[in-house]
Every structure is written in structure tokens, then in C-alpha cells.
Amino acid sequence: MTLITPTPTESLIPLRTADFSNLAEALDYAAQGSSGLNFYSGRGELRKCLTYADLRKEARSLARRLLGLQLQRGSRIAIIAETHPDFLRFFFACQYAGYTPVPLPATIHLGGHKAYVDQLRGLLLKSLAAVAVAQADFLPFLIEASEGLGLKLVDQPDSFDQLDEHDGPLSPLQANETAYLQYTSGSTRFPRSVMVSEAAVMHNLSGITRDGLKVRHGDRCVSWLPYYHDMGLVGFVLAPLASQLSVDYLATRDFAMRPRMWLSLMTRNRGTISFSPPFGYDLCSRRIRQNEPESFDLSAWRIAGVGAETIRVDVLEAFAEKLEPFGFNRKAFVASYGMAECCLAVSFAPLDQGPIIDAIDTEQLSEQQQALPVTDSPATDQRTKRLVNCGSPLPGHEIVVKSGDGEVLPDRQCGVIHVHGPSVMSGYFGDPEATAEVLSADGWLNTGDIGYLDKGTLVITGREKDLIIINGRNIWPQDLENFAEQQPEVRPGDASAISVPAEDGSDAAVMVVQYREADEGKRNELANRIAAEIRQQLGIDCTIELVSAHTLPRTSSGKLSRAGTRCDYLKRQAEIASETRETTSVDHATGLASPSLRLAVAGQNRTH
């Protein structure tokens, strides 16, 4: 039995940071070296190595077989994006053949079989896919989702390898053509497919590797991020390839089950660059015990990137405190801001400084939308909000903050973030109306995110569509969720705050909290405790709804979907109202008021 060894860290060719015209050219260059991709099991076994040279050879062979299908140039090929070498083969085969790859989620959510099939079907329809491919485990779902859609071929990778090779020359995708479609993670019901051009992604990769990360010889990446998410695909497939770095991969589901394996891979192969949303750092640090029997060595970890959701200072501090005994340097934390509509990255905080914290007055931010610095207040003071600075925009990009009427705002005035630059998308595929909603004629992207500028650097405070506005005050859902997560019974990520229409048409605050306790007395006590804390600290009423585990919907990237929470909550309320009407009509016969009606009207702290 041949022992598999990981690809070396040093590629033995001169380092180039994404100065290529397209992705095919980037792979052509990386293939001249010895670095590549390594796939690990959840138990840390190295299952497969794929050098960039082998990836190029296999991708070009597959490209010729795909050309034999005689599809039109630019045709979409949907790929279930498992953390597997076959995804990369097909993605880059499309690059060489002139087709557009469409990564599809490789996760069956708790909605089960039907929900996943419906999701896949919607994505296939939206992308107008001509061909689709999945590993054997996911193939039945894909076949069911594609029924009646007229795709030319839906099968597993091995079947494509049996196709005849086309004799003609390969003609890779060029700068002005669409490199891939990236589905946004903001909604599982109405996702939008971002058209990313070759020119846009190459510019973004250059900014990430040269300016954001300052990639250098000796760097090695480690990732558990899913390939169907922009941070996983662009950040840890395309960026390492474009700078000839080796990568060690752990599947996302394996990380969720054994988060310490992430640290083990960083230790084993001396990883220097790895990113995670805050929830990943939180999950990992909670699994590490004070007297951890497993020994880690994280001293090589120079960039611990953080982004993709609101960055919580307490999560980063807890991770650093737990892992510093194992050589982790808290100055390795690098905050960033980005989105699929800009390929991935928009801004990076400076390296080697750790989180740059901006402590501001909560009341001033809420009532005046002004980020007033606070210097003499403890971090635990509820009147102080600690935010993480996400740094300066990448070269060639501009950021402005605008008011609701389009006025450009001065420093430290909170508003909607707009971005302009060569990495901005050309639009949403097949959806000109949605494109026009966010992209101006002169190329300015309305991100929908709320934040402010401070001497050219960016601070994020929330999401425009998630804001809860009560009596003219802006209430950030993350603040409400923090009150719930401070309770010992509530786990991180188990609370989702939303706004719903009140009877007078204004916003009403609601927080849906997952709670595993069945005892009704304990449930009521928790709901009342959270509501009282919010009332005392923020001066607003908030309805607390307790639900069972696994109720809160999430996006394809694993983040809480507040839009989904709102939809599900309103649906439950409609069902309760219907039951109330039925019960009330029966009670009219006896002249009694319905208990369910009394419960519904009682108001703020009703639990389920």
C-alpha cells in the first residue's frame, strides 16, 4: 500500500499573486510547481492529494469530453459542491472548455429530502443549467430535482469520464466572460445568482493575495469552508491556486462534528492562513478544555481571518484565551468585509495588529445613527457597543456610506454601504430587475449593509433589511440576540431577532429562541427573564417565542436566516390565529372567553 504524503508547502516556482488574465492561465502556471490540494477525513486521515499539475491534466482531459456534448459556449454546468477533488476537476474543466460552472449546495438541511430537492430544482431552473453532476450520495436528489427540466446529462463524475474526447483545441473563458455563477447565501428561498467575470475574479484574487494577505513563500492554507460559499470557493480554492499555495481541506460537516480537527491540521502541516466566520471560532473554543489532552502547535498561524457575519469581539477574545497556551497569537486575527456580489473581498484590516475595536455609544448610534467613540466605559457596559474595524478597501475600490435619500454621509455617520470597483459583479444572472435594485448604471453596488467610515476604514453595524425600527430608534438584531445568548440555557446561534408588523403598522420586536427544556414553568421563566433584560437595558418590549431545537432556518453557508425566521414566525402566528377563531366561535355558545384567545392577547412573553 502506497503511503500518501501531502503536497509540499514550497512550490519551487517564483511566487506570483494572481497576475493572470483568467483562471485557466492561473492553473497553467501553478501546475509548473509541486504544490496542490489535500483532502482529509474527519479523523484526520489524508485521503487524497491532488497537485496542481494533476488537476490541470485531469481538468483539460475532462474539458475535451464535455466539449463532446456540443453545448453552446457559456452553457451552465451545475456541480454539487462537495469538498472533493471531483468538484475541482469539473470547475476547471469548465474554465478550459468555455462553459460556466454553477456550484450547488451540498447540504441537506433539517427540512429533509423534499426541501433539498425543491432547493436544487429552483437553482437548476434559475441558472438554466444544461448539465448537472453529483457524487453518488447526492445524485438521487439531483436526478429528482432535474426531472422534466430537459438537461442534456445528469450523472455522477465517473459517467462523464466515459464520454469521448473532442479533438478540437481548448478555448478557455476570457476576461469578459462569466467565470462562474455564485449563489448568494442571503435567502434559501429566493437566492440570486451572481455573475462573476474572469476579469472581476482575477482582480479580486490579486487584491486578496497581494494586498490583503500579503502572501509569501512558506504560506500554507487550511480550510473547512464549503465550496458553494464565496469564502470557501474564492478564498480557499481560487486564491491559493492563483498564488500557488498548498491547501489542506476538511469537509464542513466533519468540522462541525470534530472542530478540533481544524486545529490538528493547522498543527500537523504548519498552516499559516485560515479563515472562519465567528461561529466557527466559537464552536472550536467551546470544544477545547482547559486541560486539553491533545497537544496543538498554532505558532505558525499568522493570519486567522474572520468575516462573513457580524464579528463579535467576545468570541474572538474567548478563542484567543483558550488557544494562546497552544501558541496562538491573538494578533493573527484579521477582520475583513465582503460579499459574493464583489467576488469575495472588499476590505481587509491591517495584518499583525489583531482586532481593532471601536467602542461607541449605543444610545447615540440608535437614536442619531452616529458612531460616537467612548473611551472611559468598561466593555461590559450595555451603553457601549464594541465593533470590529474591517479595514480599508482593496486597491481600485471605493466605499461610500449613504443616507436613505442617497446623500453621502461624513465619517462616523451610519448609513448604507455602497461599493464601486473592478471586482463588483456585472449583475444577477437572468434577473435584470434584481440587478437594477442594487447596481447603478455607473457601477455602484448598494450592499444593503449598514456601517460607517472612520478615516477611510470601514466598520459594519448591521444589515439594512434586518434593522428593527421602534419609535424612530434603530435596534440591531444582534444586540437583542446577545441578551438571549448571555443566558446559561441558550447556546450561541440559538436566537434570531426580527421585526414584524404591529397592529398600528409600526415595527414590533420579536426574538425566536431555541430551547430544549420541556418544563413549561422553566420556559416561561426564561422568556420573562430575557424580555425583562431587554426592557431594562434598551427600553423596548420584545416578544420572546421559545421553539424546539433545529427550528431556526439557516442560509446555505450556515448563517441564521432572519428572513426565514420572520416568514416561519408569521406562518405560526397565522395558524394560532386560525385556531383562536375556531375556539372563540365554539366558546360563544357557552359565553366563555377562549383560553387561547386570552393567551394570544396577553402579549409580550408568550412561549411555545
What per-residue confidence (pLDDT) applies to 278? 87
* Contact assessment for residue 594 and residue 576, using Cβ atoms and an 8 Å cutoff: no
pLDDT band of residue 292 (cuts 50, 70, 90) is: low
Residue identified by cell 457601549 is 384
- Given a cut of 70, whether residue 584 has pLDDT beyond it is no
CA 120 – CA 151 distance, rounded (Å)? 13
- Total-model pTM: 0.81
CA distances 401 to 345, 405, 456, 467, 513, Å, are 17, 11, 11, 16, 33
Which are the contacts of 592, defined by CB distance < 8 A and separation ≥ 6? none
Tens digit of each residue's pLDDT (9 = 90 or more) over 131-145: 999 999 999 999 999
Among left, alpha and beta (phi > 0; psi -120 to 50; other), residue 455 is left
- Given a cut of 80, whether residue 602 has pLDDT beyond it is no
Cell of 154: 445528469
CA 4 – CA 109 distance, rounded (Å)? 34
pLDDT band of residue 248 (cuts 50, 70, 90) is: very high
How is the chain split among helix, strand and coil, in percent rounded to 5? 35, 25, 40
Domains, in order of start, for the chain: 23-336 (3.40.50.12780), 357-390+396-465 (2.30.38.10), 468-602 (3.30.300.30)
pLDDT band of residue 283 (cuts 50, 70, 90) is: confident
Tens digit of each residue's pLDDT (9 = 90 or more) over 441-495: 999 999 988 899 999 999 998 776 677 877 657 787 888 898 898 899 998 889 9
* Contact assessment for residue 270 and residue 302, using Cβ atoms and an 8 Å cutoff: no
